[in-house]
Structure 1
Amino acid sequence: MEILSYEIEINAEPEKVWSVLWGDITYKQWTSAFAKGSFYQGTLEEGSIVKFFDPNNNGMYSRVEVNIPNQEMKFLHLGEIYAGIEVPQDWGNPTETFILEENEEGTLLKGEIQTREEFKAFFEEKFPKALEIIKHLSENQL
């Protein structure tokens, strides 16, 4: 498992960045960096299962490990979904974490992914693009 870390300075308060991250419409906008038409189903309460889908209803399911509003969201990825069927995976403990730190400029958004080597190039290309979209949305939407 490899840990990949990304961060971006956003000129907006943490509450605004949080709403962009997890709001239904804005989530679809920033995750288009990974796959156009992405969406999630489920609640973001700690311990709940969330399903992340592409437009073909394939994707993955994860457990919310941490949800501290306006500060941190952490997912443990459990398996993949193919044609609506959940397929558990033995990935180890792949996590995806978003940390928001308030500062004088606004918010430092940090993203950390524990992933297998085979997915590193994908995240190295896509994650910075997603952060740029989050920044744009946070700084320019009412």
Structure 2
Amino acid sequence: MENEPEKTESSGWIKKSIEIDASDDAVWNTLTNPEYTSQWASAFEAGSSVASDWNEGSLVIWKGGNGGPGVKGKVEVNYAPKMLKIGFYNSADAGPDDELSEYKEHYLLSEHEGKTMLTIESGPLTPEYVEKYSPMWDAALKIMKEISEQQ
């Protein structure tokens, strides 16, 4: 990740971190277990869900609250329980061999003395989308923290 430009809201990236009083394994479970993903995904739209087996190369399918297609991506990096990187397609109808768009989501976990710092990076986005999704990410991180600390 050396020589990558700084990911900031002014560069079209949402970057947020939260400290969680739980192990990185517990936080990873919150990120990837279907029992929990629908809970934190609801921060973006009530009733949303995420489906994937989270293996590198596997599809990640977000469904909207009405059960309809949301967005589709592919796991680019799975280094459990430290890093998950997902690239997204331009269309929910994209096939697994279609080219990914520029939009990515990165989930980075760093455990120290039983606490985990979870950092998300989401982008690049237009300023309108940064403004729209930034508070949703705040809510999602709070939900992830609550779930992880209760495990």
Structure 1 length normalisation: TM-score?
A: 0.87
Instruction: Decide whether the 8 Å contact of 1:9 with 1:105 is kept in 2.
Output: no
Structure 1 residue runs of 4+, over 3 Å off? 87-92
Structure 2 length normalisation: TM-score?
A: 0.82
Q: Partner of 2:131 in structure 1? A: 121
Equivalenced residues, count: 137
Alignment of 1:26-105 (within 5 A): 26-56=36-66, 57-81=68-92, 86=93, 92-105=101-114
Q: Tell me the alpha carbon deviations over residues 77-109 of structure 1, each in whole angstroms, 9 at most, x when there is no partner.
A: 11233xxxx158998511000000011251000
Query: For structure 2, which runs of at least 5 residues remain unmatched after alignment?
Result: 1-10
Between Structure 1 and Structure 2, which shows a larger proportion of strand residues? 1
Q: Tell me the alpha carbon deviations over residues 3-32 of structure 1, each in whole angstroms, 9 at most, x when there is no partner.
A: 210000000000000001111111111111
Q: CA RMSD in A?
A: 2.1
Q: Which amino acid is 2:82 matched to?
A: Q
Q: Secondary structure at the match of 1:25?
A: helix
Query: For structure 1, which runs of at least 5 residues remain unmatched after alignment?
Result: none
Q: Secondary structure at the match of 1:79?
A: coil
Alpha-carbon separation, structure 2, partners of 1:49 and 1:23: 15
